[in-house]
Amino acid sequence: MKSIKFVFLKAIIIVFFTFCAGSSYSQNQPESYLKTEGTNKVQFMGVENNFLVFDLLFTDVPAKGCTLKIMDHTGNTVYEEIISGNSFTKRYKMPKDEFSKISFKAMGKGFVFNQAFIIKKEETLVVTSE
């Protein structure tokens, strides 16, 4: 009877240590990304001479910088720029008739930013009285 209890206890201890050792080695360290909500943004400013006008404001750029890509609806990169420094502000003008979607994506070490805009071309009729 003692030998069965001893074997059972030994088996439980081996399983416990195996589980503890396995779980400590299998844990991956999460990659931390800077939160960009509120500190970094792209804002649509309007239409100017058949160009869509966007203001980019990054106030929390990583020390090593990042790469900004502006892409069209098919994912083709139409503009690419390397951003360095602590903050960055720039106005971008894109031809109105060439886009149905425009995406701003910035990536750097520990830094990810994504913001997209859908462009709908609608004609509006405004009637006013004389």
Q: Is 74 exposed, middle or buried (0-12, 13-18, 19+ CB in 10 A)?
A: exposed
pTM exceeds 0.75: no
Three-state SS at 60: coil
Residue 83 near residue 128, CB atoms below 8 Å: no
**Residues 60, 73, 123, 92: what is their CA dihedral angle, to the nearest 10 degrees?**
40
Q: How many helices (H) and strands (E) does the chain have?
A: 1, 7
Q: Is 78 exposed, middle or buried (0-12, 13-18, 19+ CB in 10 A)?
A: middle
pLDDT in tens, 29-80: 444 444 445 678 999 998 899 899 999 999 888 888 899 999 999 999 999 9
Domains of the chain: 40-118 (2.60.40.1930)
Q: Is the pLDDT of residue 21 over 70?
A: no
